[in-house]
Amino acid sequence: MLRILEQKNLDAYQEIIRQTAIPDSAQLHLTEALEEDDSVKGWILYAYQPEQILIYALDDGKDWNYCDGLLRSVLFKAQLRGIEKAVLEIPDSAVMEKISRLGFVKNEQKIIESISEIMENCKKCKENPANT
């Protein structure tokens, strides 16, 4: 069974963090997708700000469901903090294409203005390309 959990120790991700354009002032968070044997199948790197969540990188292990689950989990956590806006600073165009095809953004946008709207649309998951 897949588990999506925040990883408090970022030591294993220091090289990725160094390679990503992240301001020194960012208070980073990382969430992993873990299988039953605790093997990491994907992760997402992000930081909260008072008015938005910044998403810097996402590795979904080339799996649509991990992409959707990781992104949706951090958007939900942002929503619980009262944040409605997400800025995707993910440099990987293939990941951004997948995020667009999953319906999180449109036309190469990198901003989600309403996290609530995304979460409401979750009820229509059967229409996602990942489920075809």
Does 97 or 132 have the greater pLDDT score? Answer: 97
Angstrom distance (rounded) from CA 14 to CA 30:
11
State the CB neighbour count (10 A cutoff) for residue 41: 20
Angstrom distance (rounded) from CA 76 to CA 118:
10
**What pTM does this model have?**
0.87
| pLDDT, averaged across the chain | 89
Enumerate domains of the chain plus CATH numbers: 3-131 (3.40.630.30)
**Predicted local confidence at residue 25, as pLDDT:** 83
pLDDT in tens, 2-28: 789 999 999 999 999 999 989 888 899
Question: 58, 70 in Cβ contact below 8 A?
Answer: yes
